[in-house]
Every structure is written in C-alpha cells, then in structure tokens.
C-alpha cells in the first residue's frame, strides 16, 4: 500500500511538472514575477519531499534526521541534480545563480527558518542555569569555547598559507568565522543519548548541559563581535575594542531589558487571550527585533535568540513552543536542505580543500575534547568522566550552520570555507552518538572523589496503557509542574525530553507512548509520586463528571435512529474485509467466546500474527470493560485500537441463537462486526462504523444479513456497504 502511494505521488508530481509548461505556453501572459513565484513553489515542494525522504532514511539508520535533510539538499541542489535542464525548466529546477548558489527568495525562507530556530533555542534556554550554573559547567563551557575559537582561527591562518596559498591574518573574516563556527555545540544530540542512558542527572550529564548553556551565550556574543569586526574591516586594537564594546553593549542592553521587562511583555500578550494570536504576535516581535539587530550591523539570529531568552521564564514559554511546532516542522527542513544546496561539490572535491576539511574536522574534535575534557580533570572528574564530557561537547548543530550561512551570504567567507564548515558539522554530529553511547555503558565511577553528601539519583517509571492516555497525561503532568513553579524546557527539539527545574530540584522527564520516565534526586522521589498520583486523581475526576453529563444509552440509540440513505462516501469494504474473515455460524455462547472466535477469524486469514492474538483480545476486552459495544436490534460492533495491527481490518460473524452482549435494549446480539484500528497509525474508523450502522438500521437489511447461507454471500453483501 505504501509503495503504491509513493508511486502515485511520483506519477502525480511528474505529470504536473511536465504539464505546467504546456499550460503556460498556451496563455503566453506569464510575467517574470509570476515565473519566479511559480519556480519558487516548485522548489519548495521538491525540497519538502526530499527533506522528508532524507529524514526517513537517516532515522531508519538511527542517525539524526537533519543529516538526511542536508544530504537531500546536496543531491537536489544547483551543484548536482538541480542544474539539469528538463521540460519546463531550461536551466534546471535549482539553477545556479550568478552571485549566490540559490535564489534570494529561497534563501529568504532559510533565513526565516534560522530565526525560528534561534527563537526556539532562546525559549528553551534555562536562564536560571546560566545565572546560577555549576562551577564545573561554567569552566568547561568557557574554556571549551575559547580553545575552539582559537584553534579554528589559527588553523585558518596556517591552512591558508600552506594549502590555499593565501595569507590571512588573525582578524581576517575567514579565520574569524572558522573560529566562531568551531565554538558551537548541539546539545540536543548529547541530551538524547544521555536521556537514553539515564545519565541526564549524572555528574557528567549536568556538566554537559550546563556547559552547553554557556556555549550558547558565548557563541552568540562571539558572533556579534566577529560580525562587527568583519563588516568594519578594522584590525587595529583600538577599533577592535570599540567594535567589541558596541557589539557586546547592544547585546547586553537588549538582553537585560528583555529579561527585566519579560513579565510586562507576557502581561501584554495575555490581554490578547487567544493563544494562537499570542504565538503569532510573539513571533512578530521576534521578527521585529531580528530586523533591528540586522540594521544595527549585527545578525538577525541574535535578536531572535534574545526575544526567545526574554520569554523563556514566562508562563507563555511552553505554550509558544507548542504552537510554533508546525511552523518549525515546515521551515526547519527547508533550512537544512538549503544549507546542503550551498555546498560546491566541484571545489570541495579539490585535494587541497579535502585536506583542509579533514584537518579542520580533527581540530574541531580535539579542541572540544581538550578544551572541555582537561578542565574537567581539575574539577574532581577522573579520565573516564572527563572523556565523556569532552565527547558530549563535540557535535555541532544548527547554530554552526546558521553562522556559516551568514558568512557566505554576506560574502565574508567563500564556497570552500562554507563547504568545509558544513562537512565538519555533519561529521561531528554523525560520530558523536555511537561514541558517547559506548562510553556511557560503563558503570564505573566518573569522579575521583565522591562529594561529602552524595546526591543519589533515582529513576521512576510509569507504564502507559496506550498512546491516547499517554498524550492526555503528558499535558496534565506538565501543567502541574508549571503550577508548582517549575521551569520546563525541551532539551531535544522534536523529541519529548523535558528538563524541569526549580531551586535545587533537577528533574528530567522523558516521554514515550509506552511509559513516563523521571530521573531525579532521591529527595524528589516522593514529590514525583505525589504529583503523578494527583494527576491521575484529577483525570479520574474529569471522567466521572463526563460520565454524569453524558447519556450514553441515549447517544448509542441515536446511532440507529438516523434515516437510512445512500452514502456518498466511497466503499472500502474489499480493503478492510477478507473473504476468510467472515463466519455465518459462530459457536460462542458468551461475549468472551464470541470475541475469541472473531479474532481467530482474523488470525486464520493471516491478517493477525498468532503471537499477537492474546494482545488483541486484551485490547478488545479492555474496550468492552469501559463501555459495551452491544448496540440494539441484535447488533454488536466490537472495536478497539491496538498496537498489534498495522492497518484497519474487519471481521464479520453471525450467531443464529444470539448471545448476551450487554446490549442497550437487553436483547441478544446476532450480528457481530469487529473492527481493529492501528493505534500507531490512526485511521478514520468511526466513518466505517457509522456506514455499517446506516446499513443495519433497516430491518430488511438485517434480515438479509441473517439469511446469508454461505460466507461468500455474506462477504459480498457486507462489502457493498463498508
């Protein structure tokens, strides 16, 4: 089915691409502006498809999806497939531009994506951790940034002399940008591994997370200074000092003002009341501040980060992140794909550039290992702990790509340097997960000497019955934490890892549809259990109120009181019901026996694996325990969502004698139509059940069903109406 869907999409897209120039030729009135807009529409469509496929492939290989999106950009970009002409696109779908690899319009989309990324990064920053960070985290973060910057800058000087044949001074834009790019750290990659290994609250885990906060702030400040120096062209110490004071001064003024007046901004936004509008206006403020910083000679992403940082401590933070999720999912793949398009494959294939890139990657790795690992040795960590910290700080991420993109678009760095920077980001992100995962396997201590008062860590797990319940409880758990004054932010965007802090309480909450996992200090264990108990009690109370308000019997009868008519919805009966999953003479005499017999029909027809039979029965019985699916007039519609099936399926059975199925009218049920719905791949099962109900409203139709003598006759009758 999936292959057919992909084939259909491919044929549909191909047909559209080839037909579009024919239609345009007939009108002959397309202006240049319309032509550019039309090209942009095609480009965005192809980028989204390519990024989606690239992300899927890399996820299957258990690698970050962003790497797949970058590779997809390289493949479809102007230096590879994008320049190949075909019907309707004489210069290719992504033609190489004269002054910049991609069009201004396309790069504008990538720029907006970078603003969204840095705004969300600011929203997720724990400002309290920055103000009251641990000693180890601050020292590791600062020295890591300093050494990485110096290594990148000096490497740019040395390599330019010996490999590129051009001498660059320390303050030349290319060495400066190589230094700034090298400072960035993608904490999301390391946070994911730490969470999987239950090490988020370990000494090395807390140190990595604290150092990452320092990296974010110092990286932004360094970029501010470098941009000022690069754009002014001054290299004398007096001018450099003035540029630094101006850049840092503007950054500090806006940051302090933003944090100081954050509550007033939040109060003003709350007057809007509508949550969607609040999110839109918040993003509008972000764009405004980004534009102000660009006009001030600084980067737009710095203004976006400051706006996010300002709102990070308000109670609107989590709500804004949640509602920006769809915007982020649309724009961010475009950003990574466009970054891949900017790689000049011809120049990167040069032996000199390849050597440059390999050395830069080695220095980028060593600078973090040494700059972050060695200071840890003097902060009570042994070699094992220092190595974990150093490796955890290696991966570069979106900030490095954004900085490189700014340098390329402003003409401060060339294609070769950008390609080297992107490959460095790609490789460091690729190699870190398996190495860090292996290092964290060892249970041996990471501290040379345990502190006098050892902070014991505990892991608490709460199993979830199904995904729907897990999603409902997730919202309530986060609401209760916020109500208790905790600050919540997501450590890995796109996943469900939450860093929850208040005073000395440091809790990591990992969400999966199967279980909730809390990593916390031993003194917070009782609080976590109390909080979760309160959440469950609240949900149970809501359910009781719901049951008292809803007249389920009356609603159930209404299903069969609708006038019977011809449905205008297409039938999918042959896809849902197998000829082997029907039975005209069920033997069961109880509800349990009927359900077992119906599930056996699906098992014998090959639609359910025998090993999953019991799990399906358990899900069905759980649904029946909530509310019986015995309707009226001898009809029962048992159904359940289950993880044991991958597609929706139906089984039909008849019992001539009838079985007590706890029906609404207390009459025995004779017609049984069982529906199984995949829990992990939701499908419109209610429409199917309603169509069956419409058909069975008629007494004549019910008689026709009960009078079926053979399975074939029953199959053909039912598939005409579902």
Tell me, letter by letter, the H, E, C secondary structure of 681-718. CCCCHHHHHHHHHHHHCCHHHHHHHHCCCCHHHHHHHH
Mean pLDDT of 177-200: 77
- Structural domain includes residue 38: no
Whole-number pLDDT of residue 370? 94
Distance, in Å, from the CA atom of 643 to the CA atom of 81, rounded to the nearest integer, reads 40
With pLDDT > 70 as the criterion, what percentage of the chain qualifies?
A: 83
Backbone φ and ψ of 653, nearest 5°: -145, 150
Pair (232, 376) in one structural domain:
yes
Least confident of 120-134, 297-311, 398-412, 688-702: 120-134
The b/e string for 338-375 (b: 16+ C-beta within 10 A; e otherwise) is bbbbbbbeebbebeebeebbebbbebbbbbbbbbbbbb
Task: Using the predicted structure, report yes or no on whether residue 435 has a pLDDT greater than 70.
Answer: yes
Pair (529, 665) in one structural domain:
no
Query: Which pLDDT tens digit goes with each residue over 606-618?
Result: 889 888 899 899 8
Contact 498, 479 (CB under 8 A): no
Residue 497: CATH number of its domain:
3.30.310.50
Mean pLDDT of 665-687: 81
Mean pLDDT of 409-435: 86
pLDDT band for position 684 (cuts 50, 70, 90): low
- Structural domain includes residue 514: yes
Whole-number pLDDT of residue 513? 82
- Render 67-119 in DSSP notation, one character per residue: HHHHHHHHHHSTTTGGG--BTTBTT-SSPPPSSSSS-HHHHHHHHHHHHHHHH
Residue 651: CATH number of its domain:
3.40.930.10
Contact 97, 341 (CB under 8 A): no
Distance, in Å, from the CA atom of 107 to the CA atom of 335, rounded to the nearest integer, reads 8
- Structural domain includes residue 429: yes
How many residues would you count in the chain? Answer: 722
Beta-sheet pairing, 639-642 with 635-636: unpaired
Contact 229, 277 (CB under 8 A): no
Contact 430, 365 (CB under 8 A): no
Contact 12, 658 (CB under 8 A): no
The two tokens of residue 231 are: 């754009």
- Structural domain includes residue 704: yes
- Structural domain includes residue 647: yes
Pair (509, 643) in one structural domain:
no
Contact 298, 250 (CB under 8 A): yes
Contact 145, 518 (CB under 8 A): no
Pair (422, 470) in one structural domain:
no
- Structural domain includes residue 147: yes
| Cα–Cα distances in angstroms (integers) from residue 607 to residues 312, 581, 610, 612, in the given order | 49, 9, 9, 11
Pair (246, 343) in one structural domain:
yes
> 407: helix, coil or strand?
helix
Mean pLDDT of 521-529: 85
Least confident of 221-230, 332-341, 523-532, 571-580: 571-580
Contact 489, 439 (CB under 8 A): no
Range of the domain at 507: 457-549
At which of 404, 439, 474 does a domain end? Answer: 439
Tally of structural domains, the chain: 3
Task: Using the predicted structure, report yes or no on whether residue 13 has a pLDDT greater than 70.
Answer: no
Nearest to 416 by CA among 374, 356, 369: 356
Report which of residues 592 and 315 the model is more confident about.
Answer: 592
At which of 549, 565, 598 does a domain end? Answer: 549
Pair (525, 645) in one structural domain:
no
Pair (462, 430) in one structural domain:
no
Pair (538, 681) in one structural domain:
no
Pair (272, 301) in one structural domain:
yes
Whole-number pLDDT of residue 621? 87
Pair (266, 405) in one structural domain:
yes
| Angle, helices 685-696/699-706, rounded to nearest 10 degrees | 100
Pair (474, 423) in one structural domain:
no
- Structural domain includes residue 264: yes
The b/e string for 247-259 (b: 16+ C-beta within 10 A; e otherwise) is beebbeebbeebb
Report which of residues 41 and 252 the model is more confident about.
Answer: 41
Indicate the helix (H) or strand (E) that contains 507. strand 505-511
Pair (250, 338) in one structural domain:
yes
């Amino acid at each position: 089915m999936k292959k057919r869907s992909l084939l259909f999409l491919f044929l549909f897209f191909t047909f559209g691409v080839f037909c579009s120039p024919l239609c345009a030729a007939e009108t002959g009135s397309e202006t240049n502006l319309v032509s550019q807009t039309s090209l942009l529409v095609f480009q965005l469509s192809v980028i989204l498809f390519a990024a989606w496929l690239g992300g899927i492939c890399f996820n299957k290989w258990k690698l970050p999806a962003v790497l797949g999106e970058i590779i997809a950009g390289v493949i479809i970009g102007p230096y590879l497939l994008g320049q190949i002409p075909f019907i309707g696109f004489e210069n290719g779908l992504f033609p190489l531009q004269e002054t910049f690899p991609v069009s201004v319009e396309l790069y504008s989309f990538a720029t907006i994506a970078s603003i969204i990324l840095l705004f969300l990064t600011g929203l997720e920053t724990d400002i309290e951790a920055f103000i009251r960070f641990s000693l180890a985290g601050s020292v590791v973060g600062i020295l890591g940034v300093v050494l990485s910057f110096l290594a990148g800058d000096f490497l740019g000087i040395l390599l330019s002399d010996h490999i590129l044949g051009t001498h660059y001074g320390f303050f030349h834009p290319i060495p400066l940008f190589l230094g700034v790019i090298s400072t960035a750290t993608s904490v999301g990659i390391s946070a994911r591994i730490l969470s999987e290994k239950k090490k988020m609250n370990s000494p090395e885990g807390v140190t990595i997370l604290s150092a990452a906060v320092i990296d974010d702030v110092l990286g932004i400040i360094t970029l501010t200074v470098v941009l000022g120096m690069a754009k002014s062209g001054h290299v004398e110490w007096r001018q450099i000092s003035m540029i630094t004071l101006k850049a840092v001064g503007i950054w500090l003024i806006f940051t302090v003002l933003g944090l100081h007046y954050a509550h007033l901004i939040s109060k003003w936004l709350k007057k809007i009341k509508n949550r969607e509008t609040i999110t839109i206006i918040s993003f509008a403020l972000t764009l405004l501040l980004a534009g102000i910083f660009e006009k001030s000679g600084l980067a737009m992403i710095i203004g976006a980060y400051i706006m996010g940082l300002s709102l990070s401590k308000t109670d609107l933070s989590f709500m804004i992140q949640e509602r920006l999720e769809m915007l982020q999912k649309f724009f961010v793949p475009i950003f990574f794909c466009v970054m891949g398009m900017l790689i000049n494959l011809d120049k990167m294939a040069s032996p000199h550039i390849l050597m440059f890139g390999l050395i830069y990657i080695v220095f980028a790795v060593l600078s973090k290992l040494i700059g972050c690992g060695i200071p840890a040795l003097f902060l009570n960590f042994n070699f094992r702990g220092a190595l974990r910290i150093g490796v955890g700080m290696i991966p570069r991420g979106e900030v490095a790509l954004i900085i490189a993109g700014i340098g390329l678009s402003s003409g401060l760095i060339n294609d070769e340097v950008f390609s080297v920077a992107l490959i460095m980001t790609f490789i460091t992100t690729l190699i870190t997960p398996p190495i860090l995962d292996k290092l964290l396997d060892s249970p041996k201590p990471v501290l040379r000497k345990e502190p006098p008062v050892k902070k014991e860590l505990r892991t608490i797990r709460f199993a979830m019955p199904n995904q729907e319940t897990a999603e409902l409880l997730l919202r309530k758990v986060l609401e209760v934490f916020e109500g208790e004054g905790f600050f919540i932010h997501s450590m890995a965007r796109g996943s469900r890892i939450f860093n929850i802090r208040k005073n000395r309480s440091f809790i990591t909450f990992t969400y999966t549809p199967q279980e909730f996992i809390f990593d916390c200090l031993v003194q917070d264990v009782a609080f976590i259990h109390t909080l979760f108990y309160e959440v469950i009690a609240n949900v149970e109370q809501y359910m009781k109120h719901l049951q008292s308000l809803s007249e389920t019997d009356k609603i159930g009868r209404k299903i069969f009181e609708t006038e019977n008519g011809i449905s205008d919805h297409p039938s999918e009966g042959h896809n849902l019901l197998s000829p082997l999953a029907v039975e005209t003479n069920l033997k069961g005499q109880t509800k349990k026996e009927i359900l077992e017999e119906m599930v056996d029909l699906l098992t014998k027809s090959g639609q359910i694996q025998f090993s999953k039979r019991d799990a399906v029965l358990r899900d069905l019985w759980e649904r029946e325990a909530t509310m019986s699916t015995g309707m009226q007039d001898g009809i029962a519609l048992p159904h359940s969502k289950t993880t044991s099936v991958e597609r929706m399926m139906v089984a039909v059975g008849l019992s001539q004698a009838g079985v007590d199925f706890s029906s609404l009218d207390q009459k025995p049920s004779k017609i049984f139509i069982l529906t199984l719905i995949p829990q992990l791949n939701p499908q419109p099962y209610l429409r199917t059940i309603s169509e069956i109900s419409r058909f069975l409203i008629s007494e004549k139709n019910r008689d026709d069903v009960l009078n079926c003598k053979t399975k074939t006759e029953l199959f053909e009758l039912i598939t005409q109406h579902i």
